[in-house]
Chain A
Amino acid sequence: RKEVEQDPGPFNVPEGATVAFNCTYSNSASQSFFWYRQDCRKEPKLLMSVYSSGNEDGRFTAQLNRASQYISLLIRDSKLSDSATYLCVVIKTGANNLFFGTGTRLTVIP
């Protein structure tokens, strides 16, 4: 079983829409959770860390459900510039390396 699983999409949404991505992880001892954004032919860039209590950064909201081993990312009022691949990333307790999901591709359509 993969460490991190995501729906690869693609998600094609109109500007202004709200879109949600989900991710599950297999190791209950995982300690840190992130969403990264990767634009085409670019390196991944940290979008936001995911805290146990959930957190919001502008139009972006991240949630963590440890009981279900589930992470989500909600994007409100989608912009054309939000088009990218969104990577769910997990660090296991005692490890330093990141485990990446395969990514969810989002295209925001005018």
Chain B
Amino acid sequence: SAVISQKPSRDICQRGTSLTIQCQVDSQVTMMFWYRQQPGQSLTLIATANQGSEATYESGFVIDKFPISRPNLTFSTLTVSNMSPEDSSIYLCSVEGGEYYEQYFGPGTRLTVT
């Protein structure tokens, strides 16, 4: 499986500001995914990021709030814009890696918005 790193690992931010989360993979991958895990909840897909095209957002998530970049096949960023306390969550990136389309996750970014 791929080795995935995320930066920052955690941050505390004030409401109204924005945070950009980076995801780096040690091998080239076609698809990268961004998930959110709110406290006590399971994971919810935010968007799928393909290199060279616009990200595809899931219902309830919009580009203005969660802009995504995918400049190459090993890197992606997710920005959480104009943050509110409701955005406090763990944000995880993942890549597809197997015969059955299983995914492997980065260590996550723990965001607290005050």
Contacts and interface: CB of A to CB of B under 8 A. Distances in A.
B31 interface: yes
A59 interface: no
Interface stretch (A13-21, A44-52, A73-81): A44-52
Nearest to B31: A96
Contacts of B110: 41
A100 B106 CA distance: 16
A88 B107 CA distance: 19
Contacts of B105: 43-45
Contact of A87 (B42, B106, B108): B42
Interface size class of B (residues with CB under 8 A): 20 to 34
A49 B100 contact: yes
B101 A91 contact: yes
Interface size class of A (residues with CB under 8 A): 10 to 19
A41 to B, nearest CB: 8
Contacts of B101: 32, 91, 96
A94 to B, nearest CB: 11
B39 to A, nearest CB: 11
A97 B58 contact: yes
A87 B102 CA distance: 13
B58 to A, nearest CB: 7
Contact of B42 (A45, A49, A97, A100): A100
A42 to B, nearest CB: 7
Closest 5 CB pairs of A and B: A43-B105, A100-B42, A97-B45, A32-B100, A100-B43
Interface of B: 1, 31, 33, 41-45, 48, 58, 92, 94, 96, 98, 100-108, 110
Interface of A: 32, 34, 41-46, 49, 87, 91, 96-98, 100-103
